[in-house]
Structure formats: C-alpha cells, structure tokens
Amino acid sequence: MSQPAIKINAVHKNFGALHALKGVDLTIELGEFFALLGPNGAGKSTLISILAGLITPSSGSASVMGFDVVNQYQQARQLLGVVPQELVFDPFFNVREMLRFQAGYFGRGRENDAWIDEILEGLGLTDKAHTNMRKLSGGMKRRALIAQALAHKPPVIVLDEPTAGVDVELRQMLWEFIKKLNRDGHTIILTTHYLEEAETLCSRVGMMKQGEIVALDSTANLLNKFSGKHLRLTLGDVILPAAIGSLMRHHEKGVYTFALSDMTQIEYVLSTLRSANIKVLDMQLSEADLEDVFMSLVGKSS
Amino acid sequence: MSGLKYSDQVIVSAFRGPWTLLKKELLRFWRVAFQTIAAPVITALLYLLIFSHVLESHVQVYDGVPYTAFLIPGLIMMSVLQNAFANSSSSLIQSKVMGNLVFVLLTPLTHLQFFLAFLIAAIIRGMVVGLCIYLVAMWFVDLQLANPWMIIAFALLGSALLGTFGIIAGIWADRFDQMAAFQNFIIMPLSFLSGVFYSIHSLPPFWQKVSQLNPFFYMIDGFRYGFFGKGDVSPLISLSIVGASFLVLAWITLRMLKSGYKLRS
C-alpha cells in the first residue's frame, strides 16, 4: 500500500490569539490534481507553509509521502516542490544558474541538467536561460519561480496562487505545462482565486473558511450538490420585492443572481418584478458553477 | 553517478547540498568584487597613507618597529573582521528583504549545513580582502613574519567569529536600517577602539581596562603578534579568548537556526 502524497492530521496553528488553523484533516493521494480554495485569511497559505516546513504546527501532524514534515523534514522536503505566492528572486544570478543552485541544494548535480532544460523548455524560458533574474519581466519572473520549485524534480508540487497577476496567455501556458506534469505522475496541489481554473483542471476540491475545511469532494460531486439553474438579472439600483428575496444568492452592482430549483420559478421571479415595476435590463441563465458552491459555502451571506 | 552504490549517492548528495550553498555564497560576493573586495582594500590603503604620513615621525609603539609597519597588521585584521561580518550579514538581510531566502529554507539542508556554508563564505571573503591588503602593503613596507601560524590562526578564528556574528545579525535584523545600526554602533566602535592605530599601553589605565573587555582588541593584538613577535598581552590568552567567543557565538547561532528564530514560525 503506497503512502498518500499528503496526509494532514488534526493540524492546529495559533499565532498568538489568532487561531489560524482549527483542526484540519486532509489526505491527498498520489497523482491527484487538487485545488484548495478559500477567501484571503482562510488558512490556505498557513497550511502550505506547514507542509513546506516554514511554519511548525501548534498540534497535529503532516506528512509528505509518509515522511513527517517536522521529524523527517529532510526526506519530506526532498519530495516536495513549493511555488511561493510572492514574486521573489535572487538578483545575483541568471535563470539557469539559479536553477542549478536550487537543484544542488537538494543534492542534485550535472545529471539533473537535462531535467532543467526540460523545465526551461516547458515554461518557455529557454531563451531567457542566461538572463539575470533582475532583468526578467513580471510574467517571466513568475515562470522562473515555478521552474525553481521544480528544479529538483519533486513528485509532489504545491502552487500557491500561481496565476495571480498573470495574463491570460501565460496562464493558459502554465496550465498546459502543469497538466503535463500531472499526466507524468506528479501530484499537483494548488490554491487559486480563479474558480473556473479549479473547475476545469482539478479532480478534487477542498474549500477552506476561517481555518477549517468546509467542503471536500470531487469537483463533479460538489457541482451536483448545488445543481439547478442560476438566473442572473441586471436590474440596476432597485429595492428587491421581499417575495423573491429568499431566492437571491448574491448581488453586485445591480446584477442579481437567483438560485432556482426548477424552471417554473423563472416566471415567478419575472412576474414579481413586473408587478413591482422593475425593468429587467439583461437576463442570463446558467448552470451552477464552483463559484456558486464557493459563495454559498464561504461567502459573506452564509 | 550511476556507477555508485545507492549509499554512496546519498553521501554525495549530502555533501552537494551544503557545497552548493557555499558556492552560491562565494559567487555572490565574487560577482560584485569591485564592491566587496576592491572597495575595502582601497579604504584600508587610504587609512594607511594618511595615518602613516601624519604619525610616522611622531609615534613609535614598539622599539625598532616603524609606525607604518605597526599599523599594517592592525588595518589588515580590521578589514578581515569587518568583511567577514559584512559577508554573512548582508547576504542574509538581502535575501530576507528580497524574500528569496525562502528557497534555501525549502531545502533539506540542516541548520548545521546552513551555518557552515555562511561561515566558510564569510571566512574566505575576510581572508581574500586581508591577503589583498597585505600584498599591496608589501610595496610600502618590508614586513617581518615572526610567527606565520599565529597570523593564520588569528585570521581564521577572527573571521569565523565575525562571520558568525554576521549570521546572528542577519537573522535578527528585519530591515536594512537595523543592519546599518549593527554596523555603526557595534562593529565600527569595537574595531576602531581595539588598538588598530595604537597600542593600548599608550592609553590611561581606565581606558586600558575598557579595551581589555573588547574582543576585537585580542584579535588585533594576537594577529599583530604573529608579525612582530610581541604584543600587549600573551597571544595564547588572546587565542583562547577569541576561540571561546567563537564557540559561544556558534552555539547561539546554531540554537537560533535550529529553533527557526525569525526564519520559520
């Protein structure tokens, strides 16, 4: 029986009075493509830092492929590649030097060069290999950051908000590359704010809120639980009649989203609006997506 | 690699990790050698030119030793110490402020390996600067070498002590101005008030006592003993004090690194 890629057991973390993690349990199997979602401050980055050994849990334990991140940190870190959220870089070296150093810290030498070439190629960095880190554009720095986490060829890869502030083209390219790594057997764990990314890429999703995992299921199951139609109406600045207030899920800048369990409710909503003399400026009907699941589980309204 | 047994490979990779960190630390200062080696050498030579010009005919510290000759070992050692401190402290504070230290913290390197890599890089930087000043100073004055082993021992231990102190400062400081305070309020006063430019026997008794509390005094005095065969205190006492100070600071540094003080939470 092989060990899971990640196993987190009843992990708590306190920062002074702040209870950042309140007993998190999570198992991620080898080969999974897993997304960790949640609003800012939910504890995603704290959880990742515990796996990486940057933060020690107050209680509970975590392991990477069976190696405890505290007591067997050398083995655990050898198996883990973490892409930090912040765009950090060493201004003294060029891309290839930095990747060689990074692999070297993990005990890898020249035999690893072919892998470094592969990463450079896959991330579109080949022609920047001899450029100093300082001189790279923001998008290029982001790619180099990912390359750095992969330099020692870790079987388990954690990406903390890898596409924050990245343009659409680069985002596509990054996902193609990461999907390929996943096909090649790497376990991928990511945190993201772009819910549609998690929906299309990940087979399983965990949602965090205030230091706890509030939902953990396959992406398909989560979506099924919240099946039904969503009616998005652009109404402008109006006072919604109380009769349909309970169907409303959220609203933003005059756009109201209603969760409907069957189609007859469309007519009900529209007729209520008509009798209240509210004009519908635009209308859109859609299936539930992860964002709706997310909003109903972790949104401010709940 | 493939010809090696698995256990050999583990050993090779265990060495390669800290060796890579050391290599990176060496390259870091070598890339900016103009600032990290040439600049301190020029500074030391300016001190040498000015002080020897002003004081050569007025001051004689040891019988038969011209003031310029007396001054050179002090200047060399002061530069060795300051540059050893500068190397580890500035590397750490830079990578902390830039945030890229995280890439070292994510690796399997142990706290001892981390310590040794920064320590050895600091020693080498201090030694290279010291050697350059010595080579240039030979143009001006014919220096005797009474006890070369003492010279090497004090240069090694002194740069190790200050390199370790630099690691502590680099871990403790969160901002560049805190590091500058370390430099200006601890390192500079201690190195200037250590007998680089004078023998403490020329001081009033009270200030002699104060100087004897300054660890820099023992490093400078012992180092100078290696050149002239005489000093203000016995070189073995100095060597013991410097060695013991290094062990204490090394122990503190390892404790800090092991607990993750300011680096991990």
ipTM (interface pTM): 0.89
Cβ-Cβ contacts under 8 Å for A125 (sequence gap 6 or more): A95, A119, A140, A143, A144, A147
Q: Which residue has the higher pLDDT, A198 or B160?
A: B160
Judged against a pLDDT cut of 60, whether residue A301 lies above it is answered with no
Question: Pick from B95, B108, B264: which is nearest to A77 by CB?
Answer: B108
Judged against a pLDDT cut of 70, whether residue B6 lies above it is answered with no
Average pLDDT over chain B, rounded to an integer: 92
Judged against a pLDDT cut of 70, whether residue B206 lies above it is answered with yes
Residues of B in contact with A101 (CB under 8 A): 20, 23-24
Question: Pick from B102, B107, B264: which is nearest to A106 by CB?
Answer: B107
Q: Which residue has the higher pLDDT, A242 or B58?
A: A242
Average pLDDT over chain A, rounded to an integer: 88
Mean pLDDT of all residues in B134-151? 91
Q: Which CATH superfamily is domain A1-79+155-170+181-225 in?
A: P-loop containing nucleotide triphosphate hydrolases (3.40.50.300)
Q: Which residue has the higher pLDDT, B128 or A300?
A: B128
Q: What is the reported pLDDT for B8?
A: 65
Q: What DSSP string describes A161-194?
A: STTTT--HHHHHHHHHHHHHHHHTT-EEEEE-S-
**Residue B179 CB burial class (10 angstroms; 0-12, 13-18, ≥19):** buried
How far is Cα of residue A50 from the mean position of the Cα atoms in its chain?
Answer: 16
Q: Which H or E run contains A51?
A: helix A44-52
Q: What single letter denotes the amino acid at residue A77?
A: R
pLDDT bucket at A162, cuts 50 / 70 / 90: confident
Percent of chain B with pLDDT over 70: 95
Residue A249 to residue A226: CA distance in whole angstroms:
12
What does the pLDDT look like over A77-94, one tens digit per residue?
A: 999 999 998 889 999 999
pLDDT bucket at A132, cuts 50 / 70 / 90: very high
Residue A76 to residue B260: CA distance in whole angstroms:
17
Judged against a pLDDT cut of 90, whether residue A163 lies above it is answered with no
Residue B38 to residue B30: CA distance in whole angstroms:
11
Residues of A in contact with B102 (CB under 8 A): 54, 84, 88
Q: What is the reported pLDDT for A214?
A: 87
Mean pLDDT of all residues in B181-186? 93
Q: Do B110 and A74 touch (CB under 8 A)?
A: yes
What does the pLDDT look like over A277-293, one tens digit per residue?
A: 888 888 888 776 777 77
Q: What is the reported pLDDT for B65?
A: 84
Q: Which residue has the higher pLDDT, A186 or B141?
A: A186
**What are the residue ranges of helices labelled H in chain B?**
6-31, 33, 39-55, 67-98, 102-105, 111-137, 148-172, 176-182, 188-192, 205-211, 215-228, 235-259
Q: Which H or E run contains A233?
A: strand A229-234
Q: What is the reported pLDDT for B1?
A: 43
Least confidently predicted of A34-48, A125-139, A148-162, B1-15:
B1-15
Q: What is the reported pLDDT for B4?
A: 59
Q: Considering Cα of B40, then B45, then B46, then B50, what sign does the dihedral take? A: positive
Judged against a pLDDT cut of 70, whether residue A226 lies above it is answered with no
The helix/strand/coil state of A101 is helix
Contact yes or no for B126/B44 (Cβ under 8 A): no
Which residue has tokens 């060399």? B76
Mean pLDDT of all residues in A216-243? 80
Contact yes or no for A234/A283 (Cβ under 8 A): yes
Q: Nearest residue of B to residue A148 by CA position?
A: B103
Q: Please state which CATH number belongs to domain A228-298.
A: 3.30.70
How far apart, in Å, do the first and last CA atoms of chain B sit?
Answer: 37
Q: Do B20 and A104 touch (CB under 8 A)?
A: yes
Q: What is the reported pLDDT for B10?
A: 66
Q: How many alpha carbons lie under 13 Å from residue B135 in its C-beta half-sphere?
A: 8
pLDDT bucket at B2, cuts 50 / 70 / 90: very low
